[in-house]
A and B are shown apart, each in its own frame.
Chain A
C-alpha cells in the first residue's frame, strides 16, 4: 500500500505513455486499426479509475502535498523527478483523466486518416497534461508544459479543418514563445538560489522554503521580471486578453477531441500555473501587478462575450466564450480572497465540463452536416429534440444558471472580488460590477445562437433528414450533464477537498504568512546565511 501511494502519480503519468507504446506495438504486429480506439479507451478509463484513488485519505507530507515522490533525475544540475498533489491540483488531475475517455469516445467514427498516430498523440497528451499538474520541479514542469504542445500541435495540424496548418502554427508560436521566457525565468531562479544559498535548485518546495524563510529574496525589479516571465507564459495559455487570438483559430480548426481537451484541460494549465507558481514564488510582485491582470480579465470577460455574440461560426462562438469564462477565473484568482480563488478553481472545473460538452455538441452536428455556420441551421429542435434539449441545458450551464455548475464558481468569484482589498478604494466593487455584466452578455450570445440554430422552422432542406443523437452520443453526454447538475447543487464535495490548499496559497500571496499553508515547515538547506540584497 505504501508503495502504491508513493507511486500512484507516477503510474498516472506513465500509464497513458505506456498505452501509446502499446498502441504502436499493436499496430506493428496486428495492424488492426479497429482495435486502437478500444485500447485507447481502456487505457484512459483505467487511468480515470486510478486517479479516483487520489481522493483516498492519505496523510499529507510535511509540505502539504499528498502522494509525494522525490527522486533525483539529473544530479549535476540538481533537478529531480518530484511529484505530488494537493487539494488544488487534485481536481485538475481528475478533470484531466475524466475528460480523456470522453474525448476518445467523441472521435469514435471521426478519425478518417492515420488513426494509430491520432490515438498515440492523445495518450501522450494525457501524460504530458498530468505531468504538468503534479510536477513540483520547475524544470520538469517546463518540460511537461512544452511537451503538451507537441501532440496538440499535430492533432490540430493533421486532423484539423481547412485552415489547420495556420491554426496549428499560430497555436504553437503563441504558446511556445511565452513559455520560452518562463524557461529563462526558471533558470534564473536556479542561479539566484545558488547565489543565495550555495545550492542551485529547480525544486518548487525548496525554492518556496528559501523564499519564505527569507534566504532567497526576490524583491524589486528581479521579482517583477521573473513574475512577468512566468505570467506571460501562463497568460497566453489561459488565454488572457489580448493574447487570446490563437484560441478561436485553434478551436475552430481542431478536431472535436482536440477542442474538448484544449478547452477542458489545456487552458487550465495557464491558470493553474499562475496560482501555483506566480502567487507563491512572487507574492509581492503578484500583489503589485494584480491590477493589470484584473483589468485584463474584465476586458476579457466583456470583450470575449461581445465578440462571441457576432460570430457566424458556432465553434468560434464557443471559443470566444472561453475567453470570457477564463477571464472570470483570472479575476477570481487575483482577488486574493478565499472565495475568489476557490471560485476560480471551481470555474476551471465547471468550464472544463461545460465547454467540453459544448464542443462535443458542436462536433455532433458537424459530423452530420460538415458545417458549423449558424446560418446553415435553424429549426433543429423539431428534427433533433434530444440534441436540442442537451444543448439548451449545456448552454444554460455556461450562461451560469443557478443549480448548474457555472453559477457556483462565478458567484464565488464575484463575491471574492467584491470583498477583495487588492485594489484601492471602491475599485474592487466597481470591478465586480463590470465583471457581473458578463452574466448578461453570456445570456445574449448563447441564447441568440440557440434561437437561430434550434428554433423556428427548418429553412434549410439539408437539415430535414438529420438524425437525432445516437446511443453513443447520449452516453457521452450523460456523465457531463450529470456533473453539470451535481456540481451545481452540491459543490461542497469539491470545495471541501480544495479549501485548505487554496487557503494556503492565499495566505502566502497576501503575505499573511511566511510559514504554514501548503508549506508547513520549509526544509533547511545548507548553512548559508548570506541573503541576496535587493539588487536595486
Chain B
C-alpha cells in the first residue's frame, strides 16, 4: 500500500479548468481559449491517471499491478468526524478504480475534443466547457473516493452536472423539464445510498473502501469488516431485505444504482436527458455517469456476495430492464432516443452480470460499452451536426454518401453492439450470456430463464441498431419529408431551423472525426484485452479478468458456503486463479458464443430486410409510447401528490384548519369585545385583548397549580 499525492491532481485539474472557464471564459470570449483550457485539464487527468495506473514514472508499481490489488492512496484531510463516525477526504486507486479512471478520463478527453467542434458557434461555449470539466471532477471523485461518503459527493456531483448539462439549452422547454426529472429521479435513488451508508456506519463502524493503517490513518475498510465478521451469507429470504444486515445494505445501495443507472423503475429520466447537447449524451448518459451504479455494485461486491436475495433482485431488474428498454428502442424515431434506450438496455446487461456474480464481466462490459456507445453517440452527434440539428431518422437517409467517415466509424460501433466477433461488444456480451447461463447463485431454473431473456434482448439489439443504421445511412434521401404524425411537437427552439430546399448534409470537421476514428479503433480492438480463455483456444488467459479478480468478491453459493469463508481477498495463487477451466465449461462457452453470433446475424438480417426498403415502417404504438410509463407515473404519483399538497395540506390544513381556528378565535373575541364595550375595536387591539385575556387565564391556572404544588 503506497501513498501518491499526485492522485489529487487527477480530480483537481478538471476542477481548476472549470473554475478558469467560469471566471475568465466570458471575458476572454474565445472558443480557442475555453476549449484549450478544458481539454488540457482533462488531458492532465488522463496522463496522470495512466501514469499511476500503469506505474509509469512513479516510484511504485502501477495501481493495476500491485500485489493483491492493494490501492494507491492519497489522504487529504478528514472531512467529517463526529463520535465514532469518520469520513475522509481521501483518494484511492486500486485495480477497479484504476480501470475506471483510465477509460473515463480517456473517453472524456476524446469527447471534450469532439465537443470543441460540435459546440462551435454556441454562445454559451465557455459555460458548456466549465460544466463539462466540473463533471469530470465529480466523476473522477466518484471513482477515486476512498470511502462511501466521498463517493456520494461525486455521485451527487455528477447528478448536478448532468442536471446543468441536460438543461444547457435553457430555451428548450423539454430540456428544463428533463433536467429536473433527471435530478429528482436520481435523488430518489440517492436516498437509498444515504441510508445504506448510514446503515454501514452504524453496523460496521466504518465506511471506508480501503484499510488506511499503512499510511498512518486509523481507518479499516468495510470489506475487511465483512471478511472478519460475516461468516455465512444472509439467508435467501425476503425477510433478509429488512433485517438490517448485508442484504439490507445491498438492496439500499441498489436502489441508488437504479436511479443513477436508469434501471426499472427509475429509468424514464435517461431518454429525456437526450435533450442535452450530444457530447453530453455521449459522455454522461452513455459512457461514464450512468455506469456509476455498476461501479457501486461492483465496489460493494463483498456485501452483495453475502446477500443472495439482493443479487437475485439485481439480476432480475437488470434482465427486465434490458428487454424492456430494447422493446422501446425498436420503435423510436429520434436517433438519440434509440441510443438512449439502447444504453438503458445495455446497463441492464451489466446489472444482470452483477446479479449472477460476474462482477468483472460487468466492468468489462462497462468499458467496451463506453467505447462503442460513446462512438455511436458522437457519430449521431456528427449526423445531427451535418443535418442542421435534425434528429428524426425519418428525415435522414443515404447519409453514407455525404458523411463517409461518420458512416464508416459508426459501422464499427454497430457491429460491436450487435455482437459480431472481434468487435469489442462481442466478448463482453458473450461473457455475460455465458455467466448467466451457468450461474449457480440463483434459484434453480432462473439462470436459464434470465439467459433466454438476455438472448432475446441480444437479437432485438441487433434489430434496432440495424434499423438505426439503415434509416440513417441507407435508403433514399428524405430530408424534406413531412412527418406523418402531428403529435411530434417540434418545439420552436432556437437551434432548430427549417431545412432549406437546396440542403446538402456535410461531413464534420476534423475535431469531430478524429475522436470518432480513435473510438472506432477502440470499439474494434478494445475487447481483445478481455478475450475469454475458452475463445482464445486456451492460449491466452483472460487478461482483463485476471487484473480485476483480486479486488472483487466471489459470490457465495449455497453449496460452497462453508468453505468459502474469509476468502474474498485471497491473492490469486498463480496466473490461473481459482477458476479451473474444465473441458465441459470450455465447450459450453464456445457453443454459446457460436450461438450468439448466429443470433446477432439473424437480428441484423431482420433489421436489414425489415427496414431497408421500408424505413418508415409503423412500429407498435405501445413501444413507441414507452409502455405509457411516463403517463402512469404522472397520473399515478406526481399528480396526486401535487394535488393533495395543494388542496389538502396547504389550503385545507394550514390555511383552513390552523389559521381558521386562530382567526376564528380572534374574530370571536373581537365580536365579544365590540358587544361588550360598544365601541369599534381594531383588529390589532382585539388581538391584544385576546392575548391578555388568555395570558391571564393561563397564568392564573399555573399560579394556582404551582401554589398547590409548592404549598
Residues of A within 8 A of B (CB): 165-166, 169-170, 172-174, 176-177, 180-181, 183-185, 187-188, 191-192, 195, 222, 225, 229, 242, 245, 248, 303, 306-307, 309-311, 337-339, 342-343, 379, 381-382, 392, 396, 401-403, 408, 411-412, 414-415, 418-419, 426, 429, 432-433, 436-437, 439-440, 443-444, 447-448, 451, 454-457, 489-492, 495, 499, 535
Query: Is B556 an interface residue when CB atoms closer than 8 A count as contact?
Result: no
Cβ-defined contact, B699 with A443, below 8 A: no
Q: Is the CB of B646 within 8 A of A245?
A: no
CA distance A2 to B507 in the complex (A): 80
A309–B687 touching, CB < 8 Å: no
A440 CB contact (under 8 Å) in B167, B187, B642, B655: B187
Check A337–B198 contact: CB distance below 8 A.
Answer: no
Q: In the complex, which residue of chain A has the Cβ closest to the Cβ of B150?
A: A402
How distant is B185 from chain A, measured CB to nearest CB, in Å? 10
B695 near A: Cβ within 8 Å? yes
Taking a contact as CB atoms under 8 Å apart, the answer to whether A443 and B184 are in contact is: yes
* Chain B 279-293 per-residue mask, 1 if CB under 8 angstroms from chain A, else 0: 000000000000000
Residues on B with C-beta less than 8 A from A174 are 662
Decide if A339 touches B170 in the complex (CB within 8 Å): no
Chain B residue contacts of A495, Cβ below 8 A: 80-82
Closest B residue to A308 using CB positions: B645
Q: In the complex the two chains form, what is the Cα distance from A403 to B79 in whole Å? A: 10
- Asked whether, in the complex, the Cβ of A184 is within 8 Å of the Cβ of B709, the reply is no
Q: Is B706 an interface residue (CB 8 A)?
A: yes
Q: Are A245 and B658 in contact (CB under 8 A)?
A: yes
Find out whether the CB atom of A339 lies under 8 angstroms from the CB atom of B82: yes
The answer to whether residues A491 and B698 also contact, given A307-B654, A382-B170, A402-B152 and a CB cut-off of 8 A, is no
How long is the Cα–Cα vector from A242 to B77 in the complex, in angstroms?
42
Q: Which residues of A contact B654 (CB under 8 A)?
A: 245, 248, 307
Q: A184, A447, A490: which contacts B77 (Cβ < 8 A)?
A: A490
Q: How far is the CB of B647 from chain A (nearest CB, A)?
A: 9
Whole-angstrom CA separation of A176 from B153 in the bound complex = 43
Residue of B nearest to A248 (CB): B654
Contact in complex: A222, B709 (CB < 8 Å): yes
Mark the stretch among B172-180, B529-537, B626-634 that contacts chain A. B172-180
- B160 to chain A: which residues have CB within 8 Å? 396, 401
Shortest Cβ gap from A23 to chain B (Å): 27
Query: Are A180 and B698 neighbours in the complex by a CB distance under 8 Å?
Result: yes
Mark out the residues of chain B between 609 and 666 whose CB falls within 8 Å of any chain A CB in the assembled complex.
641-642, 644-646, 649-650, 653-655, 658-659, 662
Q: A184-B702, A307-B645, A440-B187 are in contact. Are A411 and B80 (CB under 8 A)?
A: yes
The verdict on B510 contacting chain A, using a C-beta distance below 8 Å, is no
How many angstroms from the CA of A447 to the CA of B662 in the assembled complex? Answer: 33
Are the CB atoms of B184 and A439 closer together than 8 Å? Answer: no
A489 adjacent to B89 (CB under 8 Å): yes
- Of the candidates B80, B179, B244, the one having the most CB atoms from chain A within 10 angstroms of its own CB is B80
How far does the Cβ of A183 sit from chain B's closest Cβ, in whole Å?
A: 8
| B685 and chain A: residue at smallest CB distance | A169
B-side residues, CB < 8 A to A, are 77-83, 85, 89, 149, 152-153, 156-157, 160, 163-164, 167, 170-171, 173, 175-177, 179-180, 183-184, 187-188, 190-191, 194-195, 198-199, 201-202, 244, 641-642, 644-646, 649-650, 653-655, 658-659, 662, 683-684, 687, 690-691, 694-695, 698-699, 702-703, 705-706, 709-710
The answer to whether A457 and B82 have CB atoms under 8 Å apart is no
Which A residues touch B156, using CB under 8 A?
A: 401-402
Contact among A229, A342, A455 with B82 in the assembled complex (CB-CB below 8 Å): A342
Instruction: Give the residues in chain A near B709, CB-CB below 8 Å.
Output: 188, 192, 222, 535
Q: For A311, A415, A439, A495, which residue has the most chain B Cβ atoms within 10 angstroms?
A: A415
In the bound complex, residues from chain B placing their C-beta under 8 Å from that of A402 are 149, 152-153, 156-157
New A-B pairs, 11, CB < 8 Å, besides A489-B89, A492-B80: A184-B703, A184-B706, A245-B662, A310-B642, A382-B170, A403-B153, A415-B202, A436-B194, A440-B184, A440-B188, A492-B77
Bound: A192/B80 CA distance, A: 43
Can you name 21 A-B pairs with beta carbons within 8 Å?
Answer: A165-B684, A169-B683, A184-B699, A184-B706, A187-B706, A191-B710, A222-B709, A307-B654, A310-B646, A338-B83, A339-B82, A401-B160, A415-B85, A418-B198, A418-B202, A437-B191, A443-B187, A455-B170, A455-B175, A457-B173, A492-B81
Point out the residues of chain B lying under 8 angstroms from A432, CB to CB: 195, 198
**Nearest Cβ in chain B — how far from A295, in angstroms?**
16
Q: CB distance B80 to A412 under 8 Å?
A: yes
Q: Which residues of A contact B683 (CB under 8 A)?
A: 165-166, 169
Smallest Cβ distance from A281 to chain B, in angstroms?
16
Structural contact, A456 and B194, CB atoms closer than 8 A: no
Complex Cα spacing A277 to B668, Å? 36
Are the C-beta atoms of A439 and B77 separated by less than 8 Å? no
Task: Find out whether the CB atom of B190 lies under 8 angstroms from the CB atom of A339.
Answer: no
Tell me whether A188 and B658 are in contact (CB under 8 A). no
Contact check, A379 vs B187: say whether CB atoms are below 8 A apart: no
Give the shortest distance, in Å, between B643 (CB) and chain A (any CB). 9
User: For residue A401, which residues in chain B have a CB less than 8 angstroms away from its CB?
Assistant: 156-157, 160
Min Cβ gap A510→B in Å is 13
In-complex Cβ contact of B157 among A192, A222, A403, A439 (8 A): A403
Residues of chain A contacted by B82 (CB below 8 angstroms): 338-339, 342-343, 412, 415, 495, 499
> Is B194 a contact partner of A414 (Cβ separation < 8 A)?
yes
Closest beta carbon of chain A to B429's beta carbon, Å: 34
The smallest beta-carbon distance between A215 and chain B, in angstroms, is: 16
Task: Looking at the assembled complex, report how far the CB atom of B619 sits from the nearest CB atom of chain A, in whole angstroms.
Answer: 31
Most buried by B among A419, A439, A499: A419
Interface residue SS majority, chain B: helix
Residues of B within 8 A of A418 (CB): 198-199, 202
> With the chains together, A396 CA to B173 CA distance in Å?
21
On chain B, the residues within 8 Å of A307 by CB distance are 645, 649-650, 654
Nearest Cβ distance between residue A232 and chain B, in whole angstroms? Answer: 11
Contact A339 B706 (CB under 8 A): no
Contact pick for A439, options B167, B194, B202, B702, CB 8 Å: B194
For B707, give the chain A residue with the smallest CB separation: A191
B706→A242 contact, CB < 8 A: no
Q: A492-B81, A495-B82, A535-B709 are in contact. Are A170 and B662 (CB under 8 A)?
A: yes
Residue of A nearest to B188 (CB): A440
A186–B149 Cα gap in the complex (Å)? 44
In the bound complex, residues from chain B placing their C-beta under 8 Å from that of A412 are 80, 82, 85
Q: Which residue of B lies closest to A389 (CB)?
A: B22
- Choose among A242, A311, A381, A436 the residue that contacts B195 (Cβ–Cβ < 8 A): A436
Known: A195-B710, A338-B82, A492-B80. A309 touches B642 (CB 8 A): yes
CB distance from A141 to the nearest CB of B (A): 18
Closest Cβ of chain A to B231, distance in Å, is: 24
Of the candidates A176, A184, A338, A411, which one forms a contact with B194 in the assembled complex, judged by CB atoms under 8 Å apart? Answer: A411
Q: How far is the CB of A498 from chain B (nearest CB, A)?
A: 10
Are B80 and A491 in touch, CB under 8 angstroms? yes
Q: Which residues of A contact B691 (CB under 8 A)?
A: 172-173, 176-177
Chain B residue numbers with a CB within 8 Å of A447 are 163, 179-180, 183-184
Q: Which of B171, B179, B684, B687 contacts A457 (CB 8 A)?
A: B171
Is the CB–CB distance between A492 and B201 below 8 Å? no
A contact residues around B175 at 8 Å (CB): 455
Q: Do residues B650 and A436 form an inter-chain contact, with CB atoms below 8 A?
A: no
Contact, CB under 8 Å: A419 / B202 = yes
Report B-chain residues with C-beta under 8 Å of the C-beta of A392: 164
> Is A339 a contact partner of B83 (Cβ separation < 8 A)?
yes
Q: Are A306 and B641 in contact (CB under 8 A)?
A: yes
Contact B177 A181 (CB under 8 A): no
A169 touches B176 (CB 8 A): no
**The one of A337, A444, A455, A535 that contacts B176, using a Cβ cutoff of 8 Å:** A455
Q: Which of A303, A338, A447 has most chain B Cβ within 10 Å? A: A447
Our pick among A191, A242, A306, A451 for the contact of B645 (Cβ within 8 Å) is: A306
Give A437's nearest chain B residue, CB to CB: B191
Say how far A432's CB is from chain B's closest CB, in angstroms. 7
A309 B645 Cβ-Cβ under 8 A: yes
8 Å CB contact of A177 from B89, B153, B646, B694:
B694
